[in-house]
Amino acid sequence: MIELNLVDGDAGEPGWQERALCAQTDPEAFFPEKGGSTREAKKVCLTCEVRDECLEYALMNDERFGIWGGLSERERRKLKKRAVV
């Protein structure tokens, strides 16, 4: 089991995962079946205050499944490719 750090630094404030809008919605929307719609998850991400932190986490940890920071795995892969070139 992967344990996420839910506290930012030493401030004792909630970590970005606790502030994420996806934590308050149906998690299945963020991990659709192959070929399933990502529209609802991406709509939630659009207004999320921690979208950048979420995307950074996914890129740094090579998350291969789900919607992270408003991007699908395929979109994150393309983003990484562009950053390397």
Q: Is 35 labelled a binding residue?
A: no
CB of 55 closer than 8 Å to CB of 80: no
DSSP 64: -
Q: Is 54 labelled a binding residue?
A: yes
Q: Is 10 labelled a binding residue?
A: no
Q: Is 22 labelled a binding residue?
A: yes
User: Rounded to the nearest 5°, which phi and psi values hold at 24?
Assistant: -110, 10
Q: Tokens 């740094």 identify what position?
A: 60
User: In the numeric block, which tokens belong to residue 28?
Assistant: 């299945």
Binding residues for [4Fe-4S] cluster: 22, 45, 48, 54
Binding residues: 22, 45, 48, 54
